[in-house]
């Protein structure tokens, strides 16, 4: 037997640093020996010549190896001149058997690491023939190889020594499988790996179930988005079982493993895009817009890195491809993950915060909270992923097998945990697209008035937002059934708060509106608490029909408002508006009522038209003169002009007027509203919110009919001229808006002690006729009604003409303008705003009433 440790020291002053390499990690342990051993040479005839003259030197050299690293039993330096006579890899494979036979005849231990020189340009040059042989397992059959190469990398210094001799260094480990292979076969590691396989399998089965659930719910507008997240997960999970990194031994298997990493990062990025869009809809800040775009980075960086890594395994002749992929995955991806971990935490916090005060049913609120909590779990994904990357970056996996195993487990578990939470989230019947809000959808009745779907097994009714303007006046049935059929089953109040449409832009689900009392019946499945009413009103009807300046603040509602169709008498109603002895009629046939803010209202049929003077300088038409919305029409200038709240069905007209103004501003080189800004879905949702909250007003122009000196207007129309009404303009009143908070908070003592006038637009024929002063006067009276002290507005500082108008004559020639305050620069939007205010004196205004 030839002693495999025999060697000849050719340079005892040079320290040779090299490392082992394995195909499932990239690198493991570092080695450092003094000198280079030359044991023999594979000659051109494929015979192995071993030089036995340097046994003692070889043993001394091996004894210098750090004992904390795997023990080397022999080191063999082999030249591979014989490869010059091999034209193809097939030729190499034909001759390798002879080489293997000779090596076995030397009774060398199992090969554990190969360090070689040749055409290598990096430490992982897959173009070298020995690499192909190792990966094909021709050297030592079933033993996994740790391979490294000499080349240009800083931690290898064999290049200059071995290049001149055309030699390769073959280092072998002990005959036992070796410390790394011991780890692969250890009981603890295998238990952890098998547990992950089981977890992946169960998650995959659950994902298929959710996929079927989504495919069956084709009526949901969200199902395409869910599929975009589900399908990549259902592809990744089985691949993660078959091609886990610790199971990979061949290049093509490595390539499939890295390609499989594309899918979870795609799903993650899509989730982040939807989160970013949602938060931007809720809080329209430039920072949120930037964050929403950053989600694309979450997709691009890891996907490109994984793709290049996989391609590098398939094209070993271009090592630069895999090197770029590895660097991207090792350095750039962790940085992206760190930033995104902070962003997702911010998203979840903002979303959870936005749920406060939302007017939705308990079922819907529970679903929203579940979605929030489950997506908070995404934070743990980023934390786990970042932890595994830190282990890799610090090189802990190279120095400790336990750290290496921990990194592998954490890395894979992070993806599995992400998909488990993701699938659970997608399986919830979300209020942002569900037809029903619970699993009892099979029992939903076919009562589809105006698209509303009532679930008889649960206490809720779903109202698709898309159908608000598509009413069908079904007259079938009688009694309560008829009242439910008219105008969409006592259509739900659009009195949702300013953020609801962002969460439920495609529909929302509310508690059954047919009764406000506490019920405890089998139909409703338990007690249903009545909505909390502001101002200590005894009933919802009393609140809706109060003819008082102290009109209910829409943001104080805790639930949607609905009137009971079985209302009898309520002696607590004040003044002439009480319903003592009067019957209530359903005016569902009125076209306007299809978009009623409060749903289908019942009004008294007996009282005559009543006119009462109010503090806006005009007249309220009471009794039947109240329109079907339950709001009065105000004359703010003369009999031909009236201000009224905007109806939901008029949202397109409202937007058209704003867009017309935006086009005019652009044509006149005035930077104020970019054309198209009001037509996108987000802006429309915000406008719908404002209309529902009674913040949007329109100014009607109509011919007048004077009776006893008072204009007689019913449902916004003159008794004599029903078809000649034209909209002269519009404006918006904000009570407490985040935009106004940005411009005023910190600059005034109490920014909430004011009403804010926005989006004042007058059509061309009605400009310059004194409407703006009347609008200002109208809003001043609204300030009084709201118990506040100031009227404020703003415009862009660059609009000199508008600034002069606000400053000098917006209140009329006699009263002049508003007080101009200092301009304010907003760095987030990079815009400068001019601000105006006037203190409304309650005693003077109220004295005129």
Q: Which residues are registered as beta bridge partners of 644?
A: 698
For residue 634, is pLDDT > 60? no
Predicted pLDDT of residue 486: 36
Question: What mean pLDDT comes out for the span 776-794?
Answer: 89
650-653 own/partner pairs: CB under 8 Å, 24+ apart = 650/595, 650/691, 650/698, 651/684, 651/687, 651/688, 651/691, 653/727
Tokens found for residue 171: 């280092």
pLDDT-derived band at 44, boundaries 50, 70, 90 = low
For residue 812, is pLDDT > 80? yes
Question: What mean pLDDT comes out for the span 105-114?
Answer: 44
Predicted pLDDT of residue 210: 87
Is 116 in contact with 166 (CB distance < 8 Å)? Answer: no
Predicted pLDDT of residue 454: 43
Predicted pLDDT of residue 375: 64
Tokens found for residue 507: 């529909």
The mean predicted confidence, pLDDT, of the chain is 60
830/463 Cα distance (integer angstroms): 40
Angle CA(630)–CA(635)–CA(640) in degrees, nearest 5?
A: 115
Find which of 4-13, 14-23, 380-389, 803-812 is predicted with most confidence, using mean pLDDT.
803-812
Q: Where are the domains of the chain?
A: 15-183, 186-427, 444-607, 612-847
Backbone angles phi, psi at 697, to 5 degrees: -125, 145
Residue 355 or 53, more confident = 355
Q: Which residues are registered as beta bridge partners of 698?
A: 644, 730
Predicted pLDDT of residue 353: 75
For residue 756, is pLDDT > 90? yes
72/183 Cα distance (integer angstroms): 18
pLDDT digits (tens, 9 = 90+) for 295-339: 888 888 888 988 898 888 788 667 788 788 888 887 888 888 888
Closest alpha carbon to 534 in 555, 547, 552: 552
pLDDT digits (tens, 9 = 90+) for 689-744: 888 888 899 888 764 444 333 333 334 444 444 456 778 889 999 888 888 888 88
Question: What mean pLDDT comes out for the span 464-492?
Answer: 37
pLDDT-derived band at 676, boundaries 50, 70, 90 = confident
At the topology level, CATH places domain 612-847 in Aminopeptidase (3.40.630)
Tokens found for residue 73: 């039993």
Predicted pLDDT of residue 34: 40
Residue 753 or 41, more confident = 753
pLDDT-derived band at 755, boundaries 50, 70, 90 = very high
Predicted pLDDT of residue 723: 52
What pTM, to 2 d.p., does this model score?
0.40
Q: How far is CA 517 from the centre of its chain?
A: 38
Percent of the chain with pLDDT over 70: 43
pLDDT-derived band at 202, boundaries 50, 70, 90 = very high
Provide the 3-class DSSP secondary structure of residue 628. coil
Question: What mean pLDDT comes out for the span 498-511?
Answer: 33
According to CATH, what is the number of the domain 186-427? Answer: 1.20.1070.10
Residue 110 or 170, more confident = 170
Predicted pLDDT of residue 297: 85
Residue 73 or 623, more confident = 73
Closest alpha carbon to 730 in 806, 791, 646: 646
716: which residues sit within 8 A by CB, 6+ positions away?
A: 592, 627, 633, 642, 644, 700, 725
Q: At what angle do helices 401-427 and 262-282 cross, to 10 degrees?
A: 50
Question: What mean pLDDT comes out for the span 398-407?
Answer: 68
pLDDT-derived band at 222, boundaries 50, 70, 90 = low
Predicted pLDDT of residue 94: 59
pLDDT digits (tens, 9 = 90+) for 818-838: 988 888 887 777 788 889 999
Predicted pLDDT of residue 499: 33
Is 612 in contact with 656 (CB distance < 8 Å)? Answer: no
Question: What mean pLDDT comes out for the span 552-573?
Answer: 32
Question: What mean pLDDT comes out for the span 788-807?
Answer: 87
Is 14 in contact with 162 (CB distance < 8 Å)? Answer: no
For residue 217, is pLDDT > 50? yes
22/516 Cα distance (integer angstroms): 70
pLDDT-derived band at 398, boundaries 50, 70, 90 = low
Predicted pLDDT of residue 147: 36
Question: What mean pLDDT comes out for the span 103-131?
Answer: 40
Predicted pLDDT of residue 128: 40
Which residue shows structure tokens 């090792």?
A: 330
Q: Which residues are registered as beta bridge partners of 114?
A: 147, 170
Tell me the HSE value of 628 on the side-chain side, using a 13 A CA sphere: 19
Closest alpha carbon to 151 in 127, 173, 171, 133: 127
Residue 117 or 107, more confident = 107
Predicted pLDDT of residue 14: 42
For residue 275, is pLDDT > 70? yes
Residue 472 or 747, more confident = 747
Per-position DSSP letters for 24-91, written without gaps between them: TTS---EEEEES-B--EEE-TTS-EEE--TTHHHHHHHHHTS-TTSPPEEEEEEEEBGGGGG--SHHH
């Amino acid at each position: 037997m030839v002693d495999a440790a025999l060697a000849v020291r050719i340079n005892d002053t040079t320290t040779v640093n090299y490392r082992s390499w394995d195909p499932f990690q990239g690198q493991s342990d570092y080695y450092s020996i003094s000198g280079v051993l030359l044991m023999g040479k594979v000659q051109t005839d494929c015979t192995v010549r071993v030089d036995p003259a340097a046994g003692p030197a070889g043993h001394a050299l091996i004894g210098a190896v750090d004992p904390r690293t795997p023990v080397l039993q022999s080191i063999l330096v082999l030249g591979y001149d014989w490869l010059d006579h091999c034209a193809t890899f097939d030729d190499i494979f034909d001759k390798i058997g002879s080489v293997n036979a000779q090596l076995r005849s030397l009774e060398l231990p199992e090969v554990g690491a190969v360090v070689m020189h040749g055409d290598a340009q990096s430490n992982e040059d897959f173009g070298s023939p020995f690499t192909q042989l190792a990966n094909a397992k021709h050297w030592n059959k079933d033993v996994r190889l740790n391979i490294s190469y000499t080349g240009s990398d800083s931690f290898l210094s064999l290049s200059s020594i071995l290049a001149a001799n055309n030699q390769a260094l073959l280092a072998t480990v002990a005959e036992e499988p070796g410390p790394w292979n011991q780890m692969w076969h250890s009981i603890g590691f295998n238990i952890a790996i098998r547990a992950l396989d089981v977890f992946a399998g169960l998650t995959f089965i659950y994902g298929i179930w959710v996929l079927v659930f989504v495919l069956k719910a084709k009526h949901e507008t969200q199902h395409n988005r869910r599929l975009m997240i589900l399908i990549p997960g259902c592809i990744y999970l089985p691949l993660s079982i078959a091609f886990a990194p610790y199971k990979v031994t061949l290049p093509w298997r490595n390539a499939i493993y890295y390609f499989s990493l594309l899918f979870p990062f795609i799903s993650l990025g899509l989730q982040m895009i939807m989160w970013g869009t949602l938060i931007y809809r809720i809080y329209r800040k430039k920072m949120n817009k930037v964050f929403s775009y950053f989600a694309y980075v979450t997709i691009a960086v890891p996907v490109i890195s994984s793709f290049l890594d996989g391609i590098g395994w398939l094209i070993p002749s271009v090592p630069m491809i895999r090197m770029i992929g590895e660097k991207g995955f090792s350095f750039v991806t962790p940085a992206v993950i760190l930033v995104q971990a902070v962003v997702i935490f911010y998203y979840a916090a903002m979303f959870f915060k936005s749920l406060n005060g939302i007017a939705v049913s308990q079922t819907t609120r529970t679903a929203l909270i579940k979605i929030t909590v489950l997506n908070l779990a995404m934070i743990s994904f980023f934390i786990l992923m970042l932890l595994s990357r830190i282990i890799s970056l610090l090189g802990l996996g190279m120095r400790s097998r336990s750290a290496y195993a921990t990194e592998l487990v954490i890395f894979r578990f992070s993806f599995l945990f992400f998909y488990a939470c993701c699938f659970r989230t997608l399986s919830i019947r979300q209020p942002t697209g569900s037809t029903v809000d619970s699993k009892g959808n099979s029992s939903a009745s076919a009562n589809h008035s105006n698209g509303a779907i009532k679930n008889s097994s649960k206490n809720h009714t779903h109202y698709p937002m898309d159908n608000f303007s598509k009413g069908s006046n079904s007259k079938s049935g009688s009694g309560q059934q008829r009242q439910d059929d008219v105008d969409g089953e006592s259509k739900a109040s659009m009195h949702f708060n300013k953020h609801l449409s962002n969460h439920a832009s495609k529909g929302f689900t509310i508690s059954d509106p047919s009764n406000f009392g506490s019920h405890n019946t089998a139909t409703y499945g338990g007690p249903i608490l009545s909505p909390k009413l502001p101002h200590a009103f005894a009933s919802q009807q009393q609140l809706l029909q109060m003819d008082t300046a102290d009109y209910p603040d829409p943001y104080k509602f805790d639930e949607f408002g609905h009137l009971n169709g079985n209302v009898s008498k309520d002696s607590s109603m004040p003044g002439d508006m009480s319903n003592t002895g009067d019957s209530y009629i359903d005016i569902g046939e009125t076209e306007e009522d299809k978009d009623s803010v409060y749903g289908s209202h019942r009004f008294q049929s007996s009282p005559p038209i009543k006119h009462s003077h109010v503090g806006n300088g005009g007249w309220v038409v009471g009794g039947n003169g109240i329109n079907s919305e339950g709001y009065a029409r105000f004359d703010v200038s003369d009999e031909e002009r009236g201000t009224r709240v905007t109806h939901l069905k008029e949202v397109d007209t409202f937007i058209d007027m704003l867009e017309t103004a935006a086009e005019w501003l652009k044509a006149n080189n005035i930077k104020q509203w970019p054309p198209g800004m009001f037509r996108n879905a987000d802006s429309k949702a915000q406008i719908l919110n404002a209309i529902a909250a009674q913040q949007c007003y329109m100014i009607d122009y109509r011919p007048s009919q004077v009776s006893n000196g008072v204009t007689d207007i019913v449902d916004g129309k003159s008794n004599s001229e029903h078809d000649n009404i034209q909209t002269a303009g519009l404006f918006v009143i904000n009570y407490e808006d985040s935009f106004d908070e940005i411009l005023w908070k910190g600059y005034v003592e109490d920014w909430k002690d004011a009403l804010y006038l926005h989006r004042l637009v007058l059509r061309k024929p009605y400009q310059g006729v004194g409407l703006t002063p009347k609008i200002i006067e109208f809003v001043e009276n609204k300030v009084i009604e709201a118990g506040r002290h100031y009227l404020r507005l703003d415009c862009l500082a660059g609009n000199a003409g508008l600034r002069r108008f606000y400053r000098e004559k917006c209140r009329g020639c006699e009263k002049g303008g508003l007080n101009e305050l200092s301009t304010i620069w907003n760095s987030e939007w990079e815009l400068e705003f001019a601000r105006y205010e006037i203190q409304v004196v309650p005693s003077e205004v109220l004295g005129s009433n």
